[in-house]
Amino acid sequence: MPVNTLDSFAIIPTGKALCAEIRGVDFAEPVPYDVRDAILKAWAEHLVLLFRGMSLDDDQLLRATEYFGGQQEAGSRGYFMRAGFKPGETKSVSVQPGISVVTNLDDDGNLQNFAKAFGNLPLKWHSDNSYVEVPPTGSLLHALVVPIDGGGETSFNNQYLAYETLSAEMKTAIEGKHIRHDGHRSTTGTLRPTMELPQTRDDITGPVHPIVRINPLTGKRALYLGRHYEFPSSHIVELNDEDSEALLVPLWAHATQDHLMWTHDGWTAGDLLLWDNRCTMHARTPIDHTQPRVMHRALIKGDPVISPWD
């Protein structure tokens, strides 16, 4: 079967609120401009793209980021490096800054054989690296080893739709508002190395982003919530603690409704998911601690967040 031609290229929408499978593309081979443009168009329309049957090493995965804007170092890497870890010493600080190893194996390659091990925990709804000043445009997640019926299902939701379906009152309530995005905790909710649990909002040191952002790929507005932990954590900077939570709680409930969502519940080795962090969030169920799961992720370089207000 030929790949990376417009003849081989096919889009199969999931029929859900987002995501389509793309056939006829292999990032191990050069992707010509016309096919890249077709992928970008499909990405703009479907927000999350699923490619199957890939077998990419880290260099090839990083090369794939070039079609979408290049690579970006993961924010979490810096926390581990500030804690004294050197590249390659732990999977949390990969040798290649653009690669993150997402796995339930420990640094010796053994199963972290208990359910509460960091790598087996569920991941809360989030948009990758919203806690950095210029968050990555997108992410590429490549499955190398996956459990069989062992959890680790990854869900995505459509934050254009979340914005568009807000009530008029909610739209007015968030108009002109911004969230300070808390980087103290990882997506499992556990404290990052060198970080102490914040006691008041003044302890929260992350960047401030508008609560709605414009995605330059489509020109459309999307809700941009980042992640939500127990207060004190991410908050609306224009409101006091209580009013901020009183607005964030219903916003999160609205943004994470089932009908906005699609779940990849059949991860297969060789799958590659490309998602847009500007207009989607994702979450993951816990992983069966008796089965290995190994994914390599590359972040796509971001551009400054575009606010509809500032």
Can you give the binding site for Mn ion, defined by CB under 5 A? 128
For 289, the 3-state DSSP assignment is coil
Count the residues of the shown chain that bind ligand OGA, applying the rule CB under 6 A.
Answer: 11
Considering the complex, state which of residue 26 and residue 271 has its C-beta at the smaller distance from ligand OGA.
271
Considering the complex, state which of residue 100 and residue 215 has its C-beta at the smaller distance from ligand OGA.
100
- Name the minimum Å distance from CB 9 to ligand OGA: 26
Q: Which of 105, 174, 128 is nearest to 274 (CA)?
A: 128
Considering the complex, state which of residue 4 and residue 155 has its C-beta at the smaller distance from ligand OGA.
155
Residue 185, contacted partner among ligand OGA, Mn ion, none, CB below 5-8 A by kind? none
Residue 227 interacts with ligand OGA (CB under 6 A): yes or no? no
Q: Kindly report each contact of residues 92-99 with a partner whose C-beta sits within 8 Å and lies 24 or more positions away, as own/partner.
A: 94/58, 96/58, 96/62, 97/71, 97/73, 98/62, 98/65, 98/71, 98/72, 98/73, 98/74, 98/298, 98/299, 99/58, 99/61, 99/62, 99/296, 99/297, 99/298
Residue 72 interacts with ligand OGA (CB under 6 A): yes or no? no
Contact 151, 264 (CB under 8 A): no
Considering the complex, state which of residue 35 and residue 146 has its C-beta at the smaller distance from ligand OGA.
146
Map the footprint of ligand OGA across residues 103-162, applying CB under 6 A.
123, 128, 139, 141, 152, 154
**β-bridge mates for residue 141, sequence order:** 273, 297
Dist CA 145 CA 270 (whole Å) = 8
Q: Which of 102, 211, 222, 305 binds ligand OGA (CB under 6 A)?
A: 102
User: Per-residue x/- mask for ligand OGA, residues 276 to 295, rule CB under 6 A?
Assistant: ------x-x----------x
Q: Which of 58, 156, 148, 56 is nearest to 101 (CA)?
A: 58
What's the start-to-end Cα distance of the chain, in Å?
49
- Name the minimum Å distance from CB 310 to ligand OGA: 27
Residue 284, contacted partner among Mn ion, ligand OGA, none, CB below 5-8 A by kind? ligand OGA
Residue for token digits 């609205």? 254
- Name the minimum Å distance from CB 237 to ligand OGA: 25
Residue 297 interacts with ligand OGA (CB under 6 A): yes or no? yes
Residue 251, contacted partner among ligand OGA, Mn ion, none, CB below 5-8 A by kind? none
Dist CA 172 CA 30 (whole Å) = 47
Q: What angle do CA 96, 275, 98 make, to 5 degrees?
A: 10
- Name the minimum Å distance from CB 252 to ligand OGA: 17
Q: Which residue is nearest to ligand OGA (CB)?
A: 154
- Name the minimum Å distance from CB 161 to ligand OGA: 20
- Name the minimum Å distance from CB 144 to Mn ion: 17
Residue for token digits 């964030």? 248
Residue 46, contacted partner among ligand OGA, Mn ion, none, CB below 5-8 A by kind? none
> From the DSSP assignment, how many helices (H) and strands (E) are in the chain?
6, 17
- Name the minimum Å distance from CB 62 to Mn ion: 18
Contact 6, 35 (CB under 8 A): yes
* Residues of the shown chain interacting with ligand OGA in the complex, contacts defined by CB under 6 A: 102, 123, 128, 139, 141, 152, 154, 282, 284, 295, 297
